[in-house]
Structure formats: structure tokens, C-alpha cells
């Protein structure tokens, strides 16, 4: 039996269908990323799991226990918000202990949990400071510590790193993943950033327009996309989707799997985008469809320079033109 299960979950806001037929099973200790573009329903789904929003229909269970109608405080779930949601007039220590005091946990136990949490997030020397005296990364750690001391086995996070700069985000990703493993948390993490999802999650739940598009490991979503949405959303730069006269279906090839060669499909250079370790070369095929080729280091190409591109058959994906779904490679 799965640890957390969502069955036939739907959410409507008036005439708008925010979530449609969500079916999801999560194992204890898994790191699950809810990934998708803005407005796809991932935050709504997280709020329903937390009990902050009610589903229009469907059920949610934890270890076989139906929690669909339970209040947030009865679900055994902690949550870390994008805005940190810290009390500005309370110290780090008081912010972390606020929930435990509200639940009337005895003082000795509160102190034990506080010491443990502060050590885990490396904030022992900051516990008497106010949130305004901390950096963004430190404030994020306070929010994490508050979730840790609750000792709830399920933790929900709604884009918790989005307010940090790129360098600090990368550091926090590693810290957060290590912390999740150490504590054995079942963690459900909302993000629109595929790098976060690919680098941290055991499995990714990819959503679009309120529907689950695909569930799987980062490697599975990258190598075996079930539809053109997954193919384009996972991977940076996105997979090229195009047609060729000799094929009846849509074709997909990732830019990093295309190579320039002396023979193959004729094309011409359109423009280049230098990224430091590589260059993204946009080329136009004979029928003027444009695709992107990822080449090593800095390479310069003249506009309309004639070129040839090629790829291995194993790197070619086939999709139904009508339904946009993946079809077996012929």
C-alpha cells in the first residue's frame, strides 16, 4: 500500500476546472516534485494535500486512512511557504518554537527539538536574531527548522527557493535534499524550475492545464517523454519537434543529440546564442522549419552558412501528429 494516495481528485473554481482526475501514489520517504508552468494547478494540488483547500471531488488517504475531510492540523503535515511566513517581531528561536507552544508541547521537549533543528540547518549562532537581521538563505533555513521541529512525516514546500539568487538556490538545493534524506521525510515540492525538479526529486509529477502529463524519474521524463508537452518542457534547451517528408509523424530530437556533419540533412545557419561552455546554433531546414543544435564551446557561424545535421536513430522520438502522444519507434 502506498503511503499517500490521491484518487480521482478534481477541483473547480466556478466554471474553471483547476484540477482534473488526479491519480497519484507516493511512497514513504519519497521526494516528489510537482512541476509545470504557471497556472497548471501544482500549488492548488499542494493546498488540497495540506487541507488549506477542499477538493470538489475525490479522496486523499495517508497509510490507508481517509483524510479528505480532516482539518490541516489533523493531517500530520508541515508546510514551507514561498514567502517563509516568519513573524517579524519574533526571534529565530521563537519563530521555530511557535507551533510547538501552540500545541502545548512541554518545555524540555521543545528545547530538545529546537537544538536538533538548529544544528541541522546550521543556525545555532543566529537563534536570538530577528528575521530582518538574516539573509534570504538564513530565513529559508528558519522556515525549514520550523517544519523539522513539528516532526510531521510529510512536508510540503511551495517554491521555497524562488526568492533566492541563483548561487544560493544551488547551495540550498543540495542542503535540502541531504536534509530530506537524513530525516526520512516524505517531501512534496512545488516548482516551475525543471533544474530544481531534475536535480532533487526521486520522481517528477509534470502537470499542465490541471492534468498530470507524466509521472516518473527525471531520467525517464528526459529519455522517454510520453507526449510533446513533456518533450518540450523537460530539458534545456527544449527538444526540437519537427516534420520530415519521409516520416508521417512528428519527430523529436534534443539539441544535444544533433551533430554537424559532412552529410545528412541540408540546412542553413540562422543565428547563434553563446552560453560559455556551449553555443546554441539555430538552423533552418529546407522547408524553413527551425531547429536548435547544441555545439561545444564557442563556435561562430555566418548567417545562411550551408550546413548538414545528423543524429543517431536511437535519439529520434516519434509523436502522433493528431494526439501529440509518443508512439513506438518503428
Same domain, 187 and 265: no
Looking at residue 284, which CATH number applies to its domain? 2.40.50.140
| 34-37 LR contacts (CB < 8 Å, sep 24+) | 34/188, 34/189, 34/190, 34/191, 34/205, 34/207, 35/191, 35/192, 35/194, 35/197, 35/204, 35/205, 35/206, 35/207, 35/233, 36/192, 36/206, 36/207, 36/208, 36/213, 36/233, 37/192, 37/208, 37/233
Whether the predicted model's global pTM rises above the 0.85 cut: yes
Of the residues 197, 229, 261, the one at which a domain ends: 229
pLDDT digits (tens, 9 = 90+) for 121-159: 888 999 999 999 998 888 888 988 888 888 889 999 998
Same domain, 279 and 245: yes
60: domain range? 4-229
Lowest mean pLDDT among 11-25, 77-91, 158-172, 306-320: 158-172
Same domain, 196 and 244: no
First to last CA, the chain: 37
Looking at residue 81, which CATH number applies to its domain? 3.40.50.300
Same domain, 81 and 174: yes
pLDDT digits (tens, 9 = 90+) for 253-308: 999 999 999 999 999 999 999 988 999 999 999 999 999 999 999 999 999 999 99
pLDDT band at 1 (very low <50, low <70, confident <90, very high): low
Same domain, 17 and 114: yes
Same domain, 224 and 243: no
**Domain total of the chain:** 2
Same domain, 135 and 26: yes
Amino acid at each position: 500500500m502506498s503511503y499517500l494516495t490521491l484518487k480521482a481528485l478534481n477541483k473547480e473554481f466556478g466554471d474553471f476546472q483547476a484540477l482534473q482526475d488526479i491519480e497519484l501514489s507516493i511512497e514513504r520517504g519519497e521526494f516528489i516534485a510537482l512541476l509545470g508552468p504557471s497556472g497548471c494547478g501544482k500549488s492548488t494540488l499542494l493546498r488540497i494535500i495540506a487541507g488549506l483547500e477542499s477538493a470538489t471531488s475525490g479522496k486523499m488517504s495517508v497509510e490507508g486512512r481517509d483524510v479528505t475531510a480532516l482539518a490541516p492540523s489533523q493531517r500530520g503535515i508541515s508546510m514551507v511557504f514561498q514567502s517563509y511566513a516568519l513573524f517579524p517581531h519574533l526571534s529565530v528561536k521563537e519563530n521555530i518554537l511557535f507551533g510547538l507552544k501552540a500545541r502545548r508541547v512541554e518545555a524540555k521537549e521543545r528545547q530538545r527539538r529546537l537544538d536538533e533543528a538548529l544544528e541541522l540547518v546550521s543556525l545555532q549562532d543566529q537563534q536570538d536574531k530577528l528575521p530582518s537581521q538574516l539573509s534570504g538563505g538564513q530565513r529559508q533555513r528558519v522556515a525549514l527548522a520550523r517544519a523539522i521541529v513539528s516532526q510531521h512525516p510529510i512536508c510540503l514546500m511551495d517554491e521555497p527557493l524562488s526568492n533566492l539568487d541563483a548561487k544560493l538556490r544551488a547551495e540550498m538545493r543540495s542542503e535540502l535534499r541531504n536534509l530530506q534524506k537524513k530525516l526520512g521525510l516524505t517531501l512534496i515540492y512545488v516548482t516551475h524550475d525543471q533544474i530544481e525538479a531534475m536535480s532533487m526529486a526521486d520522481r517528477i509529477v509534470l502537470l499542465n492545464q490541471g492534468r498530470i502529463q507524466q509521472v516518473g524519474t527525471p531520467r525517464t521524463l528526459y529519455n522517454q517523454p510520453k507526449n510533446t508537452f513533456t518533450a518540450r518542457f523537460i530539458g534545456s534547451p527544449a527538444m526540437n519537434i519537427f516534420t520530415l517528408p519521409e516520416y508521417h509523424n512528428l519527430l523529436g530530437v534534443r539539441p544535444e543529440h544533433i551533430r554537424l556533419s559532412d552529410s545528412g540533412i541540408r540546412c542553413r545557419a540562422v543565428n547563434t546564442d553563446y552560453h560559455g561552455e556551449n553555443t546554441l546554433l539555430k538552423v533552418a531546414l529546407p522547408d524553413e522549419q527551425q531547429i536548435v543544435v547544441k555545439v561545444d564551446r564557442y563556435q561562430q557561424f555566418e548567417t545562411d552558412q550551408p550546413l548538414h545535421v545528423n543524429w543517431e536513430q536511437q535519439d529520434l522520438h516519434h509523436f502522433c501528429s493528431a494526439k501529440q502522444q509518443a508512439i513506438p519507434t518503428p
